[in-house]
Amino acid sequence: MALLFFFIISTLLALSVFSNKNRSINFSAASIYSLLHISLSIYAYINLNDLDSVYYKFDSLGIILNGLLSIILIPVFWHIRYFLDRYIPDRKMKGRFISLIIILSTALSSIYFADNIVIVWVSLEITTVAVTFLIYHERYPDALEAAWKFLFISSFGIVLAFIGILLLSVKVSNAQDSSLSYTHLQAVSHLIDPLFMKAAFLLLVTGYSIKMNIFPLYPATVDAKTIAPFPVNALTSTAVLNGGFVAIFRLYSIISGTESAVWANRVLLIIGMTSLVIMSVQLFKVKRFSRMFAYSSMEHMALVIIALSLGKPGLYAAILHIMLHSLAKTGIFLHYGQIRAYYLSGWIHDSGDYMKQNGFSALVYLLGLMTATAVPPSGLFVSEYLILRALFSEGYSYIAIAIIVLLSVVMYVIFKYSMQLLYGKLPDNFQKDKAIINKYEPVSQIILFGLVFYLAYFTPGFIKELMNSVVQNLN
C-alpha cells in the first residue's frame, strides 16, 4: 500500500500549502515532498515487479521514470524559489504554485506505476488540470489563451483516448479489477478483434499525442510551453512527455504481441517522421526561446517514437534517449529562466551579447545547447547514434538518412538563434540596471548536463539492468 500512502501524504502536503502565505512552510512542504518522492523511487526499486495498491505495479520503466522525476524535482523546486520571488508578488499564489507542482508530480508518478489503462487515463487528465492552472498562473491574456488551448485540446484528446479504451475492452471486460490491467490485456491481446485493436490504438495514440508533444495534437503543447513559467516547462518538457510516452508504450506492449504489430510499427513511424518534418519547418518561424525549446522537445520525442516503432531493437535507445533528454531539457529550461531574468524578455530579438555581458552563464548555456542538440560528446549523441544504428540495421536506411538531414537542419536553426543570444548586438532596450544575475543559478544546470554525459558514457549497472528488463518484457 506504499503508493496509497504516497498519494495521501502528497495530497495533504498539496492542501497544506494551497492557500498558505508563509514562505518557509511552502518550501518545507516542497522539501518534504521531494524526499518523499525519492523514498518512493527507492522503495519501488527494492520491490521491483511487485504489485501495489491494487492498480499499480513497480515495473522497470516506472522505476526509471519515477527516479528521473525525483532527480528533476530537486533543481525544479530550487528554481521555483527564484521564479516566485521575481514574478509572483501575491504570497497566496506562491503556495498555490507549489501545491500544483506537487499535484502534477504525484499524478505523473501514478501514470508511471499504473498497471491499469483507466488509471493512466485518469492520471493524465489530472496532469491536464494541474498544467492548465500552472500555465495560467501569471494571469495575463496570452497565458489565458495558452491555458485554454491546452485544456481544450487535452480534454478532447482524453475523450478520444477514452473511446479507445472502450474499444479495447470489447472482449476483455468482465468487471473485475484486473480486467483492464496492462498485464491482463497483454495476456488476452490475441482475443481482441484486430479492427477494434487498431481503432483503439489510433484513438489512444492520438489522444495521448498532446502529452508527448508529437503529431497530431502537438500545437497546443507548443503554445503552452511558449507561455508557461520556466519551472513548469522544466517539468512539462520532461516528466509530462515521459508520462505520454509511458501511456503509448504500455499500449504498444499490448499490440506488439498481436498480428497488428507491424501495422502499429508503421503508424508510429509515420507519426514520428511527420512530427520531425513539421517541427523542422516550424522551427524557422520561432521568435521566442521557449517556443524554440518546445520544438526541440518535439524533435526528441519524435526520435523516441521512431525508435519505438522498431520494437525491441530500438527500445533500449528510446529509453536512454528519454532519460538523457529529460535531464538536458530540465537544465535548458531552468537556464531559460535566467535569460528571461537577465533581458527581462523571452523574445530572441530582445537578447544579445550574452557571452560578453554574462560570460559564465553564457558558457553554461552553450554547454546546454550542445547537450540538447546532441553535439558530441553530448550524451544525447550516444542515444541518437543508437537509434540511427537500429534504423540502419532494421533496413530503414532511407528513413535514417532523412532523419540525419532533418536533425542537421534543426541543429543549424537552433544554433543560428542562439548565436544572436550569445554574440548578437545588445538590443537598444536592454536595461542593465534591471537585469537580474545570480551566480549560483547555473550550478544546477552544470550538474544536470554533467549527468547527461555520465549516464550516457558510464551508465550505472542497475540502470542498464532496468532498461534491459523493459526491453526483455516487451512481447
Partner 1 sequence: MMIVLLIIFACTLIYFFLSERVEKHINLLAVQGTLLFIIAFINLIEINVLGLILILLETLIVKAIIIPRFLNRIRRTNNLNRLVENYIPFFYSVLIITAIIIASFFTAYSIRNHFVDVKFLAIALSTILGGIYFTIVHKNIFNHIVGIMIVENGAFLLSLAVGGEFPFLVSMAVLIDILIAVLIIGIFIDKIGSAFGNMSTSSLNKLKD
Instruction: Give the range of 36-44, 135-143, 390-398, 424-432 binding partner 1 by CB under 8 A.
Output: 135-143
Binder among 34, 106, 116, 213 for partner 1 (CB under 8 A): 116
Backbone angles phi, psi at 301, to 5 degrees: -70, -35
155 binds partner 1 (CB under 8 A): yes
Assign residue 354 a region (left: φ > 0; alpha: ψ between -120 and 50; beta: otherwise): alpha
Least distance (Å) from partner 1 to the CB of residue 175?
Answer: 4
> CA–CA separation, 407 vs 444, rounded Å?
27
Least distance (Å) from partner 1 to the CB of residue 102?
Answer: 17
149 binds partner 1 (CB under 8 A): yes
In the chain, the largest separation of any two C-alpha atoms, in whole Å, equals: 69
Binder among 9, 51, 122, 409 for partner 1 (CB under 8 A): 122
- CA dihedral (268, 274, 275, 278) in degrees, to 10, reads 180
Asked whether 38 and 70 are in contact (CB, 8 A), the reply is: yes
Name the β-bridge partners of 52. 56
> CA–CA separation, 251 vs 237, rounded Å?
22
Which residues within the stretch 290-309 sit at the binding site for partner 1 (CB under 8 A)? 291
Which residues within the stretch 43-82 sit at the binding site for partner 1 (CB under 8 A)? 55
152 binds partner 1 (CB under 8 A): yes
* Strand ranges inside 21-169, DSSP E: 51-52, 56-57
Binder among 144, 187, 202, 463 for partner 1 (CB under 8 A): 144
Could you say which DSSP state residue 179 is in?
Answer: T
Asked whether 289 and 339 are in contact (CB, 8 A), the reply is: yes
Binder among 7, 43, 87, 196 for partner 1 (CB under 8 A): 196
73 or 348: whose CB is closer to partner 1?
348
Asked whether 371 and 449 are in contact (CB, 8 A), the reply is: yes
Name the β-bridge partners of 57. 51
Instruction: Give the range of 93-101, 170-178, 396-404, 421-429 binding partner 1 by CB under 8 A.
Output: 170-178
Asked whether 413 and 318 are in contact (CB, 8 A), the reply is: no
Binder among 287, 312, 356, 464 for partner 1 (CB under 8 A): 287
As to burial, measured by CB atoms within 10 angstroms (0-12 exposed, 13-18 middle, 19+ buried), residue 270 is middle
Q: Which residues contact 267 (CB under 8 A, 6 or more apart)?
A: 201, 202, 205, 309
264 binds partner 1 (CB under 8 A): no
Could you say which DSSP state residue 181 is in?
Answer: B
Instruction: Give the range of 90-98, 191-199, 256-264, 394-402 binding partner 1 by CB under 8 A.
Output: 191-199
286 binds partner 1 (CB under 8 A): yes
> CA–CA separation, 381 vs 114, rounded Å?
31
195 binds partner 1 (CB under 8 A): yes
Binder among 29, 167, 318, 388 for partner 1 (CB under 8 A): 167
As to burial, measured by CB atoms within 10 angstroms (0-12 exposed, 13-18 middle, 19+ buried), residue 389 is middle
Which residues within the stretch 216-235 sit at the binding site for partner 1 (CB under 8 A)? 223, 226-227
288 binds partner 1 (CB under 8 A): yes
Least distance (Å) from partner 1 to the CB of residue 63?
Answer: 24
Least distance (Å) from partner 1 to the CB of residue 387?
Answer: 29
Q: Which grid coordinates are listed for 97?
A: 504554485
151 binds partner 1 (CB under 8 A): yes
Least distance (Å) from partner 1 to the CB of residue 121?
Answer: 8
Tell me the number of residues near partner 1 by CB under 8 A: 50
Binder among 18, 156, 263, 415 for partner 1 (CB under 8 A): 156
Binder among 45, 148, 385, 415 for partner 1 (CB under 8 A): 148
Question: Residue numbers of the site for partner 1 (CB under 8 A)?
Answer: 55, 116, 118-119, 121-122, 125-126, 128-129, 132, 136, 141-142, 144-149, 151-152, 155-156, 158-159, 162-163, 166-167, 169-171, 173, 175-177, 179-180, 193, 195-196, 223, 226-227, 285-288, 291
